[in-house]
Structure 1
């Protein structure tokens, strides 16, 4: 038998300990020239030297190091998802010794191969041989979770964490199990525990943000997701989730900017592009919205919901093209779009009440082919900082917190002036609200006012429960908290004397009170109780429409 020449490379004890190497490292003489930098010795060279040394001496000291580096190669192969190579290195371990680590890696390889039953046998064997092996309990938990055996998985994750309190991934996975079980609040508890231990645990913040979104605790979701992306700026999924959260909070411009940046970074992601198109529509940028939804459709034309959004956004730019595209929609999207198109075809304009006609006519010159020219509109308004910017052709693309009754009469007049076409009405109302206010709450208020008009015009009366059922889901897209206030009206009863109709300052409060007023049968004598001129005027506008 040919015996290979071995040389021994002396290492300083502290360095040997740090690198988990013997203080006298056996190296094949033929490999010595390759060691150019003693601070980095290739693993393959270490293994060849240890193999040669153990072949000669059968020394348990060198054997333990050799097994260790075999396992390093197993881990390296698993990281590259090369299961064949991992199996080959594990076979070398098997020839020397089978301990809890062997069973662990064998279980991991089998799990990656899809043989879950055999994988579970080896992983359970590993943890039975070493009950304090945190990684073993963790991988067993992962396996059980993949089999939807959540309760058993949680037990293993808890054992993993108890074995190593610095190992926080088990807490994250426990939260994931509870999320999959639909127990979102319990999931939050474990994500929060992980964050308390490590305040920079980005994944836990990201998961917590998603959980809060599900619970509709959007303020908390915003805080968690902002923290996640602050720690990990490459966490594009959390940025995407943050854009959803911000939109529900009425911070549409910030959501738009995030999605625009994500579209630039991930130009082939149809999901991101779809959401970007939808928020462009929400802010009144209809032509850009159509451009991006078309690009999303080119990337993925097999998504029925994306295809529906494409038809919907096209409707705001080219109605005839939208009708043609709608014929290719699959059920139930075809039926949904057909209902909308039928509504538009059957729509009949409402006569503007005489007492308000002069005010409405004042805004007609601001419209070109039925669509509002915002700069002409703001020329009729008194100077304010935002108004002045719009007059100069600048739309401030930042969110405000404006919540006011100011200009709500103008929004109502624009609704009346646009009422020959509901599509143009929505476009005009959106552009006016975005330009005048720049706030999600006032955009939601303006859209709700328009939906009241459409509801009464279509039904000939106002039924609060029917209205709430029709609009709440849509209004949530603009401002979730305001939509929640609307939905809560279903559970209340009202009398005119109990309403607070005077001195209303906030637009959101005004719309809530308007809904209450519209749900009450008011006599001519009752009108004298309404001292708020704007409330009385808008109520009287709706009266002739109600049949």
Structure 2
């Protein structure tokens, strides 16, 4: 047959694209890049050179000029690039194909290196180890070979060998930040936090913008309860990357334990704008609850429930049940209570149901639940009190300051909430003069230094009687109106839990009370909780209390601890002369509840 054209025997039409030398060097490309004619046209139209275009062009060039070692080396390099892409996309069959293509052209340490990564991805750790070790035998000074062997050992939990290999990597490349980072990761995994800090600081010395090192340092400082250091590191990290939701979330943890709850809320809200997750929503819910923003708390927690991972669903439901109890939302309470039947939270849900029914005046239902569920603990004194409820309410009311109690009652607005401005005016109208009247009208979030207005919170609690939800709402609202943030909120929470223990609970000893509440107080203020936990060091006798002055909330905590332990009559407290009236008021409140 006669040829129509001489072009019929041409297999490839190759065009050589001239590249800028700097661009070519940066991307490990030849300055004259061979491309198939059809790929060249597409690349020119899109101004992009995809990996497959590069491979087709180099393969064509090598087939035409089989002994051109210049282009052969580039083809091997891009076979490995294609391998990495396929491995990332979990296209293992094609990944193996590219490995074999590279091996056919030129077998060197890279083949064993990438084969090791291939087997590691497949979960064949023995073959991965053999190939990585062969890679290092071929090239003993290959830092990334030691690094990946370290990663393999870390994944297999062979920690000593992991550290040995990472250490060899950084010995070869002194500025290998990933090597130092991974040594830190192994140390963190084994709770060797102080050692890990040194390696993370080394990362930052090498690269001041190495965000992963800052992130891990922040986590370590949180674990070590060095919350000021954690907050400092998180702030430095956010200067580098202001769109890192995980750092905002971690910093919220630090801020909450520093008793900076308004800032913790802001940090969590920023985290949510960047990425919505069930655990960030849950933490924001808890912070809203701490500040008495119960409807906001319910809204974000119900959103958390919508997107929750399976293992978090029941935790979120029990939180919503608690919130329904606090706001006395019967429909929500029934919904979430029923959803917890048969779960690990059901006993806790029954506990909350008793409190909810009591707040609704369903005394017979409460008795029936207590009788049918003898395993429920924490209500040792409640059953007897239900038969004499009026008597116990009268006992609580005998400890009220009528001027303050009436002022609170007259300050409840049409929404059932205490209006702090109206409360301030009502107290002033009754002749009460104090700095805290202005605090009630202060709209800032700045923490107040001392428990001025303590008697307002005390009377609010006494007025709440046997209504658990009301006691929560009143104590949190008054603490926030008066003391804004900081240790004041922790102290208000402590008074609330003591009131609830004495009214609804088992009248726990000081030691048991601390054990039951230490974690919640820690969430409110770590420093406050540390004093709380080390109570033995701060106990005072009655004579010491007579001379003691409360200058801040830590002082108030020391008085609280001592007053709970001391057995002394209301008459003695009333007769004796106290240097500080706040000490006397706090002791009378505690004694009244101890004798309830």
TM-score by length of 1: 0.88
Unaligned stretches of 5+ residues in structure 2? 1-8, 359-381
Task: Deviation per CA, 1:193-213: give whole Å up to 9, x if none.
Answer: 212222211111111111111
1:263 is matched with 272
1:105-504 to structure 2, matched below 5 A, reads 105-267=114-276, 269-300=277-308, 302=310, 303-318=313-328, 320-321=330-331, 322-323=333-334, 325-329=336-340, 330-342=342-354, 345=358, 346=382, 348=389, 349=393, 350-353=395-398, 356-367=401-412, 372-380=418-426, 391=441, 395-396=443-444, 399-457=445-503, 463-490=509-536, 493-498=539-544, 501-504=547-550
CA separation of 1:545 and 1:137: change in aligned 2, threshold 3 A: same
Please say if residues 51 and 66 of structure 1, whose CA atoms lie closer than 8 Å, have aligned partners that are also in contact: yes
Unaligned stretches of 5+ residues in structure 1? none
Instruction: Please report how far the alpha carbon of residue 256 of structure 1 lies from its aligned counterpart in structure 2 after TM superposition.
Output: 1.4
Instruction: Please report how far the alpha carbon of residue 486 of structure 1 lies from its aligned counterpart in structure 2 after TM superposition.
Output: 0.8
Please say if residues 501 and 531 of structure 1, whose CA atoms lie closer than 8 Å, have aligned partners that are also in contact: yes
Task: Deviation per CA, 1:356-376: give whole Å up to 9, x if none.
Answer: 344433422224697533342
Please say if residues 468 and 490 of structure 1, whose CA atoms lie closer than 8 Å, have aligned partners that are also in contact: no
1:87 is matched with 96
Once the two structures are overlaid, the 10-residue window that deviates more, 87-96 or 202-211, is 87-96
For 1:90 and 1:481, the matched residues in 2 are separated by 58
For 2:400 and 2:322, the matched residues in 1 are separated by 36
Please say if residues 442 and 508 of structure 1, whose CA atoms lie closer than 8 Å, have aligned partners that are also in contact: no
Task: Deviation per CA, 1:394-447: give whole Å up to 9, x if none.
Answer: 954xx4232212111211121122233122111111111112221121111111
Match of 2:579 among 527, 531, 538: 531
Once the two structures are overlaid, the 10-residue window that deviates more, 370-379 or 531-540, is 370-379
1:30-109 to structure 2, matched below 5 A, reads 33=41, 36=44, 43-55=51-63, 56-109=65-118
Task: Deviation per CA, 1:256-305: give whole Å up to 9, x if none.
Answer: 123233334434x2222222222111111112212222222232384221
Instruction: Please report how far the alpha carbon of residue 14 of structure 1 lies from its aligned counterpart in structure 2 after TM superposition.
Output: 5.9
For 2:427 and 2:582, the matched residues in 1 are separated by 17
For 1:372 and 1:504, the matched residues in 2 are separated by 27
Please say if residues 326 and 468 of structure 2, whose CA atoms lie closer than 8 Å, have aligned partners that are also in contact: no
For 1:343 and 1:13, the matched residues in 2 are separated by 76
TM-score by length of 2: 0.81
For 2:572 and 2:425, the matched residues in 1 are separated by 39
For 2:515 and 2:237, the matched residues in 1 are separated by 36
Please say if residues 462 and 519 of structure 1, whose CA atoms lie closer than 8 Å, have aligned partners that are also in contact: no
Instruction: Please report how far the alpha carbon of residue 323 of structure 1 lies from its aligned counterpart in structure 2 after TM superposition.
Output: 5.0
CA RMSD of the aligned region, Å?
Answer: 3.3
1:507 is matched with 553
For 1:244 and 1:165, the matched residues in 2 are separated by 34
What secondary structure, in the 3-state scheme, does the structure 2 residue paired with 1:200 have? coil
